[in-house]
Structure 1
Amino acid sequence: MNHYAYWRSELENPLRRLPMKSPILLEDEQRDVLERWSRSRTVSLRWRERAQIILAATEKVSDAVIAARLGTTRHRVARWRRRFASGGVEALKKDRPRAGRPPRVDAAKVKQIVRLTTQTQPTHATQWSTRSMAKRVGVSDTTVLRVWHAHGLKPHRVRTFKLSNDPQFTEKLEDIVGLYLAPPEHALVLCCDEKSQIQALDRTQPGLPIKKGRAQTMTHDYKRNGTTTLFAALNILDGQVIGHCQSRHTHVEWLKFLKKVDRNTPKGKELHLIVDNYATHKHPEVKAWLALHPRFHIHFTPTSASWLNMVERFFRSITVDRLRCGVFHSVADLEKAISGYINHYNKNPKPFVWTAKANDILEKVVRAQTTLDKMGQTA
């Protein structure tokens, strides 16, 4: 139907003889939003129809004509004209609550499910399942699942934590965070640690590569071809990593690594090394060597607070990107892969930026300790 035939049919339509409504006046911003909705393929179909109704209502035509043009009902057109007149564009987004079928599970049952999930354990198990909870309460397992979703409960998931009991926790925390947020001038801050017992795992059978519709395959069993230990120092300024693989991780290997750090850093720079409390780092021979090299300054992390050492973030990257799914026929292959990853990483390093302040961390620790103390009193 061409443009002339359409308007002729509109004029001959008996609906045109119905009373005309006063056209809706739109502001420029409102018109832009409604026109965008009316053309969009991503917004809700309801929003699109409502936008088209209001845009059509800017003409001096009846609700029946608009309804016939958009394939809807006259009552719906009148409803959204009224709501737009009272609430603007925001009113078009809201649907009034409908009566619907009343819930088959009363509030008492919901409270019981939540209480049992959060405060009890089933017999001979550590957490509730939907079926065990359904049997206990007398509802369906899908009902239990809906209640858990509504209250954000996931009994099958457990998050790990560990609070440091180091008596010098505050002093060590402030020392290390201070190095991160305000590193000293004419000095380098290096986060150092060992990633020990990295296994050179070989698969018993070759797997299949990834392809469309199929994930990469790898046998569940493997052959152990030995282990190595990666010593690494992360420069917090530019993200560069000094790495060195050794067969063991005693004080002898730690001293070899310190000497490599000494050779691979500018001689005129003070070196602040952040390390954990591993006994190797405090060996008498290590202390004697450090006394002869006064540019080395050691900063120990609090006990059970390895998360303060940013080199752990690099260890995560190399584990996920190179080691976890790797196949290594020997320790030499493993060490070659680690060395290659570090060389590639150092070509375009990205330093990890520390943003948390010491006071904010201490507040979280205090809250966690308070919660633990309360649980211990109620147990």
Structure 2
Amino acid sequence: MRAQAVLHATRGHSNARIARETGLHLDTVRRWRGRFAHGGLPALADCRRSGRPARFSPVQVAEAKVLACQLPAETGVPLSRWSCPELAAELTARGITETVSASTVRRRLREDAPRPWRYRSWIFIRDPNCRAKAQRVLDLYAHTSEGVPPGEREYVVSSDEKTSIQARCRCHPTLAPGQARAMRVNHEYGRGGALAHLAAYDVHRAKVFGRCEPKTGIVPFTNLVEQVMTLRRRQTRPLGCRQRLLPPRPEGHRPLGQCLPNAVMVHTPVHASWTSQIEIFFSIVQRKVVQPNHVPDLTQVRDRLRAFEDRYSATAQPFQ
């Protein structure tokens, strides 16, 4: 970069133009032009500096980053992902560097390379009608249905189920946080059973209607729909839910459309739970109610979930 600044200067370019074309600061261009004018080509080299010289060359650092940006399986290493100690050992084994510590590797990777010990999962949406289904759901969130705003007596409700919420009785009581000490939860616990939490979320009014059932299925879900319709006592517009395979209807069970003609079912695309706002509420329940918990029986689990629904509905605002 210093040589380029000097070459631009020999063509008669101004310092401002050199700074724009090379990406250097104006003061940097001015300094190296002055040094070259007084000392010639040797003045472009680094001056002697105090302290220990760098142990690893830029090429070695670059090779370490290249290795970190590869999957271990592609390099013949039987690991699922790199860690700093593993990278340090591999760099030494390949002769790229001498003995290097894990902290040095971490410091070099922190500059611009990704963190190879981290990962993010993703899923490919394979629903052929994903765009049409998602568009209908998002239109309802935007308070419109087929270009027409819903009436005052119509509601948009997102519903789903959160399965296997366990009652865990810790072997030792949970300790409250103290000075310079986080809350402490005993790892060992006794199982007190599990239940399913079914909930419906009014997306425009931020109201939650929930119930707990021993298991999931078409009957518990129908009970949730009837609960919502009974509480509203008015005409209700689409009730969104995650598209899934429902179990066979029990003997004598009527379809939902016959039982509640005012409820319109709108399914979200397969593998697109991000379109269902009830999933956001379930994530809040997971963070604030379920983890960590110290509840000895399912009765207390039901009471806590019901109390949290009331607490949340009293102050919540619609999701944006």
Alpha-carbon distance in 2 for matches of 1:343, 1:161? 34
Contact 1:235–1:241 (CA<8 Å) still a contact in 2? Answer: yes
Aligned equivalent of 1:222? 189
- Residues 123/348 of structure 1: CA separation in 2 closer, same or farther (3 Å cut): same
1:1-379 equivalences under 5 Å are: 100=49, 103-121=54-72, 123-137=77-91, 138-139=97-98, 140-141=100-101, 142-183=103-144, 184-186=149-151, 187-267=154-234, 269-280=235-246, 288-353=255-320
**1:111 CA drift (Å):** 2.1
Aligned-residue RMSD, C-alpha: 2.6
SS in 2 for 1:312: helix
The C-alpha deviation readout for 1:333-374, integer Å capped at 9, x for no partner, is 110111111111122222111xxxxxxxxxxxxxxxxxxxxx
TM-score, normalization: structure 1?
A: 0.63
Q: Is there any run of 5+ residues in structure 1 with no aligned partner, and where?
A: 1-90, 354-379
**Percent identical residues:** 22
Cα distance in 1 for residues equivalent to 2:219 and 2:80: 45
Q: Which runs of 5+ in 2 are unaligned?
A: 1-25, 33-45, 92-96
Q: CA deviation at 1:303?
A: 0.8
| Contact kept? 2:167, 2:295, Cα under 8 Å | yes
Q: Could you tell me whether the CA contact under 8 Å between 1:230 and 1:243 is conserved in 2?
A: yes
Shift of 1:293: 2.7
Deviation at 1:110? 2.1
Shift in alpha-carbon separation, 1:281–1:173, aligned structure 2, 3 A: farther
Letter matched to residue 81 of structure 2: Q
- Aligned-partner SS, 1:271: coil
Aligned length: 260
What amino acid does structure 2 have at the position aligned with 1:170?
Answer: R
Deviation at 1:256, TM superposition (A): 1.0
Instruction: Check 1:238–1:157 CA distance in 2 against 1; reply closer, same or farther (3 A cut).
Output: same
**Structure 2: distance between partners of 1:303 and 1:282:** 20
Inter-partner Cα distance in structure 2 for 1:161 and 1:282: 31
Offset, 1:150: 0.7
**In structure 1, what residue type is equivalent to 2:183?**
Q
Deviation at 1:292, TM superposition (A): 4.4
Change (3 A) 1:348 1:129: closer
Q: CA deviation at 1:314?
A: 0.8
Which of the two has higher C-alpha Rg?
1
Conserved? CA contact 1:228–1:245, under 8 Å: yes
1:218/1:311 Cα in 2 relative to 1: closer, same or farther (>3 Å)? same
d(CA) in 2 for partners of 1:246, 1:127: 40
Paired with 1:283 and 1:161, the residues of 2 have a C-alpha distance of: 34
CA offset digits 1:95-119 (Å, max 9, x no partner) = x999656543222212211211112
The Cα offsets for residues 71-125 of structure 1, whole Å up to 9 and x where unpaired, read as xxxxxxxxxxxxxxxxxxxx9xxxx999656543222212211211112416221
1:204-244 deviation per Cα after TM superposition (whole angstroms, max 9, x unaligned) = 11232211122222210111101111111111111000111
Normalized against structure 2, the TM-score is what?
Answer: 0.74
Tell whether the 8 Å contact from 2:71 to 2:80 is kept in structure 1 after alignment: no
Deviation at 1:281, TM superposition (A): 8.3
Greater relative CO (CA pairs within 8 A, separation 6+): 2
Bigger proportion of residues as helix? 1
CA contact (8 A) 2:166 2:191 kept: yes
Measured in 1, the distance between the counterparts of 2:204 and 2:71 equals 49
Partners of 2:253 and 2:171 lie apart in 1 by 42
How far does the alpha carbon of each residue in 1:294-333 deviate from its partner, in whole angstroms, 9 at most, with x for none?
Answer: 3211111111111210111111111211221221111111
